[in-house]
Amino acid sequence: MGIVVRAATSFDDVRTMVGPKRPDANVCWCLSYRIPSRENQQLSGTARGDRVRELVRQDPPPGVLAYDGDAVVGWAGVHPRPDTTFARNRRIPHLDDPGDTGVWSVWCIRVRPGHRGQGISHALLDGAVRFADEHGARVIEGYPVDNGSAKVDLTMAYVGTRRLFERAGFEHRADTTSVLNGFARVLMRRTLR
């Protein structure tokens, strides 16, 4: 059957991918880049999940999910850049107007343990590109680490690698001053229209 990528409209499946084991635990929920920093810092415990539930109900939802049959196996956060912190980020350069709703950002790619090494991250990134394109994006950009052939710690691999983005048709457009896990992040872009 293969991996199928769909819009993240199921809160339960999003929770499976990015939520904590305990509903009151303070984990990212993939909100760090999606909502303003002040709001993100004020949310704690179950309020974080409640905020994600709101985002999942919006059109468009906050990302895409990968499925292997009925099992959710992956997540990618993708949304118009003005609705993310990348519109205000000082470490990631802006190649155009930060408020341009035709530019989308993909900031998180997660594959469920037990399903890694099966190409799901490639399917997720391709699905994120399709999702952005279907919602009118002109350009989609990501901010992966430029790790060469060095191994990236799994807890920090969520931003993707330059190689992953290159394989999906993205081009290196700028260096950044952002560093994650000792690796410089780069701005990668793919023009859709």
Q: What would the pLDDT profile of 43-76 be if each residue is shown by its tens digit?
A: 998 999 999 999 999 999 999 999 999 999 999 9
Which SS3 state, helix, strand or coil, does residue 155 take? helix
Would you say 1 and 65 are in contact if contact means Cβ atoms under 8 Å apart? Answer: no
> Does residue 60 have a cis peptide bond before it, meaning omega lies within 30 degrees of 0?
yes
Q: Tens of pLDDT along 123-151?
A: 999 999 999 999 999 999 999 999 999 99
Token digits of residue 132:
């952005």
Phi/psi at 55 (nearest 5 deg)? -65, -40
Alpha-carbon span 115 to 146, nearest angstrom: 24
Look up the pTM and report it. Answer: 0.96
Amino acid (one-letter) located at 83: D
